[in-house]
Amino acid sequence: MFYVLEAVNIAAILLMLSMLVVVIRQQPSRAQMAFVLYDVFTVIFVIGVQLELMHADTVGEALSGLCVQYVGQAGFLMALLWFASEFAYLKIPGWIYIIQAAINTVVLVGVFTAEHHPYFYSSMKILNDGMYQRINVSGGIIWEIHYVHMAAVLLYDPDLLWCALQTKYGNTEKKNPLYSGRKRNLCLRTDIKRFRSLWQL
């Protein structure tokens, strides 16, 4: 199992690097820059997973790999939202990026200092009962905030991209450009309702 995970990580890194080469060769644009950032931070995340697999003899060693993973996650969440907004030609308000940056700052400070407080991980221990050593953690309040943030981005972006594809290829939108704007607003309102129901859970 350990070697399977190693192979998957290496294959993922090579795939992302090949995608990076292809995208860089395209005509420069804001969407291209957003995707390049998303790609780079995804590679950083996978490298962190690899470090966690290779160095998990102690909590401190495993935590260093987790820190790299969260640096990657922080970057690709912001880049992914930026890319989706550019692709869909929908301007995301600046205050949303400010909130993202604030959450990511709290998360990174929390994970880099996780050994000294229970707010990111309430418990951490090394498990030796499997085929390889690994760290077992229990999330704290900052960890929960991070994954609510991640869920919000990952739920919103596919709908944004779908709306963009419908706007670009749908026959109705070609006949009436005003309809495409109304469709994007409808998608946005639908996602807001979804986020509210998510918080109520």
Cα 23 from Cα 19, distance rounded (Å): 6
Phi/psi of residue 126, each to 5°? -90, 130
pLDDT digits (tens, 9 = 90+) for 71-97: 999 999 999 888 888 877 778 888 889
Q: What is the pLDDT of residue 187?
A: 54
Cα torsion angle, 1, 66, 43, 54, sign: negative
pLDDT of residue 159 exceeding 70: no
pTM: 0.76
Buried b / exposed e over 91-130, threshold 16 CB at 10 Å, is: ebeeeeeeebeebbebbbebbbebeeeebbbeebeeeeee
Of residues 101, 130, 151, 113, the one with CA closest to residue 5 = 130
Cα 135 from Cα 58, distance rounded (Å): 8
